Amino acid sequence: MIGIRGNRRERSALGIAVALIATAVCLLTAASARADSISGSALAGGKPLAGSEILIRQAGTEGSSQATTLATATSAGNGSFSAAYAPVPDGGPLYAIARGGVAGQSSAGRKIRLMAVLGRADDPIATVTLNEQSTVASAYALAQFLGGIAVDGAEPGLSNAADTAANLFEARAGKVSFVLASSPNGNATETLAKFNTVANALARCTRGDPRKCRQLFAAAQAPGEPQVKNTLAAAHGLALVPGHGTDDVFSLQGKQRYAPALTEAPNDWTMALVYVGSGMNAPGRMAFDADGNIWVINNFEAPGTTPGTKLTVLSPTGEPILGSPITGGGLGGAGYGVTIDQSARVWVGNFAASNVSLFSGTGAVLSPGTGFMQGGISKPQGMATDSQGNIWIANFGGDSVVVYRDGDPSQFEQMTGSGIFNSFSVAIDADDNAWVTNGAEAVARGSVTKIANDGTPLQTIRGGGLRSPQTIAVDQQGNLWVANLLSKSVTLIGPDGKISPLSPIRVNGMGGAWGLSIDGDGNVWVAGFPNTHITLICGAEPESCPGDRETGDPISPKKNSYVSAGLQHLTGIQVDSAGNVWAANNWTTGSSIKEFVGGNGLVELVGAAPPVATPLIGPPASP
| pLDDT (0 to 100) of residue 65 | 82
pLDDT in tens, 477-531: 999 999 999 999 999 999 999 999 999 999 988 889 999 999 999 999 999 999 8
Considering just the CA atoms, what is the radius of gyration of the chain in Å?
26
pLDDT in tens, 507-516: 988 889 999 9
- Provide the CB-side half-sphere exposure for 288 (13 A, CA): 31
Burial class (CB in 10 A: 0-12, 13-18, 19+), 542: middle
Evaluate if residue 31 carries a pLDDT over 70: no
Nearest to 561 by CA among 583, 600, 522, 528: 528
| Domain 272-605 fold | Neuraminidase (2.120.10)
| pLDDT (0 to 100) of residue 255 | 82
Name the H helices within 85-185. 132-141, 157-164, 178-181
Neighbours of 415 (CB within 10 A): 21
Q: What is the mean pLDDT of residues 552-568?
A: 95
Confidence of residue 34 (pLDDT cuts 50, 70, 90): low
Nearest to 387 by CA among 286, 474, 315: 474
- Measure the CA–CA gap between 602 and 280, rounded to whole angstroms: 8
Nearest to 179 by CA among 274, 115, 251, 244: 274
- Measure the CA–CA gap between 518 and 145, rounded to whole angstroms: 18
531 strand-pairing partners:
none
DSSP label of 4: -
- What string of DSSP letters covers 201-252? HHHHHHSS-HHHHHHHHHHHPPTTSPPP-SHHHHHHHHHHSTTS-HHHHHHT
Q: What is the mean pLDDT of residues 337-345?
A: 98
Range(s) of the chain covered by CATH 2.120.10.30:
272-605
Higher pLDDT, 345 or 589: 345
- Measure the CA–CA gap between 176 and 168, rounded to whole angstroms: 6
Evaluate if residue 592 carries a pLDDT over 80: no
pLDDT in tens, 602-614: 999 999 999 999 9
Evaluate if residue 226 carries a pLDDT over 70: yes
Question: Is the distance from CB of 356 to CB of 367 less than 8 angstroms?
Answer: yes
Question: Is the distance from CB of 231 to CB of 217 less than 8 angstroms?
Answer: no
Share of the chain above pLDDT 70, in %: 94
pLDDT in tens, 252-299: 988 889 999 999 999 999 999 999 999 999 999 999 999 999 999 999
Q: What is the mean pLDDT of the chain?
A: 92
- What string of DSSP letters covers 77-109? TTSEEEEEE-PPTT---EEEEEE--B-TT---G
- Provide the CB-side half-sphere exposure for 573 (13 A, CA): 32
- Measure the CA–CA gap between 190 and 558, rounded to whole angstroms: 20
Provide the CA 430 distance to its chain's centre, in angstroms. 23
Q: What is the mean pLDDT of residues 80-109?
A: 91
Confidence of residue 593 (pLDDT cuts 50, 70, 90): low
Evaluate if residue 447 carries a pLDDT over 90: yes
Question: Is the distance from CB of 425 to CB of 436 less than 8 angstroms?
Answer: yes
Evaluate if residue 32 carries a pLDDT over 50: no
What is the SS3 assignment for 503? coil
What is the SS3 assignment for 280? coil
| pLDDT (0 to 100) of residue 596 | 81
Give kind and range of the element (H or E) at residue 194.
helix 191-206
Q: What are the phi and psi torsion angles at 484 (to 5°)?
A: -110, 120
Nearest to 133 by CA among 186, 99, 170: 170
CA angle 319, 324, 328 (to 5 degrees): 160
Q: What is the mean pLDDT of residues 432-438?
A: 98
Higher pLDDT, 257 or 224: 257
Evaluate if residue 235 carries a pLDDT over 90: yes
| pLDDT (0 to 100) of residue 28 | 39
Question: Is the distance from CB of 419 to CB of 401 less than 8 angstroms?
Answer: no
Nearest to 311 by CA among 344, 285, 343: 285
Residue type at 216?
Answer: L
50 strand-pairing partners:
102
First and final C-alpha spacing in the chain: 55
